[in-house]
Amino acid sequence: MQNSIAREFDFKSLLKFAFPTVMMLVFMSLYTIVDGIFVARFVGSNGVAAINIVMPVFNLISSIGIMFATGGNAVISKKLGEGKEGEAHEDFTFINVFCFAVGVVFLVAGYLFMEPLFQVLGASDVLMDYCIDYGILFILFAPVLVLKNVYDQLLVTAGHPKLALRTSIVGGVVNIVFDYIFIAIFHMGVFGAAIATVLGQIVSVLIALRFFVNPESSIHFTKIKKKFSMIIEAMINGSSEMVSQLSFAITTVIFNLGMMRFAGEDGVAAISIIFYIQYLLLAVFIGFSNGVAPVIGYSYGSENRAQLKRLFRYANIFIWIFSIAIFILSLVFGDFLIEVFMGEKGAAYELAVHGLYLFSFSFIFNGFNIFSSGFFTALSNGPISAAISFLKNLVFIVFFALLLPEYMGIDGLWLSIPVAEFLAFFVSMFFLLTQRKKYGY
């Protein structure tokens, strides 16, 4: 079967190909955003704060799936470009088995150490019961959550971004419907939100499995072959995306602890809302980078340098246009976005409005940094991709999130991410310029 990533792309066709993945990431963001909206309106700010306390656990579980999704995509799309379809199917099958096993490890460890874990993450006595209610299902269904992230990307690699979009739309709708049923009607609080989210993920995984079990599919299950060297390669290639997720988890913990210090539970609720908005707006950049990655990987594997140059140019045009648009959007409609989550304009609302104004400057550079890291992942250069993510998300953000509040108070927390993104822009430019001759983009 001819894979659709093998054709020539112009700007319009590239956007058309990437669009389903962009929309898929937008709908994926709904899994947690819709939870936040319903919980904020029907449970209150403590419920929202608890979700943000638990979120690093969700990020940790997702990071494994994202690592193998992006790293596996680089391995599989490159082999498809080289005409090695049989090896691509074998790699896909073993990635599935390995990811499921890792998910089981998360399940056992998380269940045994759940309460101490939430205490370390910043849960106060007031928030602990909320955290357990929301987090227990994510831990119990960890294998499903890992595979969900893998399938989202590899459906695109298989040349079916529209199917990937449909799985996310259906899963998102399931999540929204059951959020309403469990929270608004049955008043099940954050536990109901967790049930709705997990149900949405299960439905998405089942739809994707129906495609991958079909032997006629461009990527499908086949006889299992142990390929630990391929697993290591995929882990290296996808390490930057894993670092991004893990660093987001670490950043969330630091912000939660900082907000608890400066503003208590209201501060944690405020940063939760900002992270929801960030997740929604940046879904465009992450989705675009994931959407074009298989095409970049295939072009690199087939040594189509002319197309690689076009792809790089088109991607930068898209990224910068939307970066400016999202920055302006966050400034102009920031109040409205926050009001969607919080109907009542209390202390948490006022903190969030002020914080978004400062935080929004990060959107100018975030898209470029996300694409730069994803670009090198698609080129199977995991070390450079990881370096960009590591410096931006761990070194810069953590450093300034710890330093600036000592001199600027709570504003230092809000500004730490914009400062980190600005510095990461120069790191991304350095690697793109020094590696351009090697890859021919």
Across the range 14-36, mean pLDDT stands at 81
Q: Which domain holds residue 422?
A: 4-439
Kindly report, residue by residue over 320-369, the tens digit of the pLDDT.
Answer: 999 999 899 889 888 888 888 776 678 888 899 999 999 999 999 999 99
User: Looking at per-residue confidence, does 212 or 394 come out higher?
Assistant: 212
Q: How far apart are CA 325 and CA 312, in angstroms?
A: 20
pLDDT bracket for residue 1 (50, 70, 90): very low
Q: Is the per-residue pLDDT at 435 higher than 90?
A: yes
Q: Are 266 and 278 in contact (CB under 8 A)?
A: no
Give the Å distances, CA to CA, from 344 to 73, 266, 277, 347, 363: 44, 13, 18, 9, 27
Q: How far apart are CA 73 and CA 19, in angstroms?
A: 18
Q: How far apart are CA 314 and CA 74, in angstroms?
A: 20
Q: Among residues of the chain, what percentage have pLDDT more than 70?
A: 98
Q: How far apart are CA 411 and CA 277, in angstroms?
A: 18
Residue 52: per-residue pLDDT: 86
pLDDT bracket for residue 227 (50, 70, 90): confident
Kindly report, residue by residue over 259-290, the tens digit of the pLDDT.
Answer: 988 988 888 888 988 988 888 878 889 889 98
Residue 343: per-residue pLDDT: 64
Mean pLDDT check: name the lowest of 25-39, 141-155, 192-206, 259-273: 25-39
Across the range 172-178, mean pLDDT stands at 91
Residue 116: per-residue pLDDT: 94
Q: Is the per-residue pLDDT at 3 higher than 60?
A: no
Q: Is the per-residue pLDDT at 31 higher than 80?
A: no
Across the range 20-43, mean pLDDT stands at 81
- CA-wise closest residue to 191 among 240, 129, 235: 129
pLDDT bracket for residue 4 (50, 70, 90): low
Q: Is the per-residue pLDDT at 311 higher than 60?
A: yes
Give the Å distances, CA to CA, from 401 to 15, 228, 404, 412, 417: 36, 38, 6, 7, 8
Kindly report, residue by residue over 72-118, the tens digit of the pLDDT.
Answer: 888 898 888 788 899 999 999 999 999 999 999 999 999 999 999 99
**Considering the chain, what is the average pLDDT of its residues?**
89
SS3 344: coil
pLDDT bracket for residue 20 (50, 70, 90): confident
- Give 104-113 contacts, CB < 8 A, sequence gap 24+: 104/142, 104/143, 106/60, 106/61, 106/64, 106/139, 106/142, 106/143, 106/146, 107/139, 107/140, 107/141, 107/142, 107/143, 110/57, 110/139, 110/142, 111/136, 111/139, 111/140
User: Running DSSP on this structure, what letter comes out for residue 144?
Assistant: H
Q: Is the per-residue pLDDT at 27 higher than 90?
A: no
Q: How far apart are CA 15 and CA 10, in angstroms?
A: 9
Q: Whole-prediction pTM value?
A: 0.76
Residue 410: per-residue pLDDT: 93
Q: Tally the domains of the chain.
A: 1
Across the range 128-155, mean pLDDT stands at 93
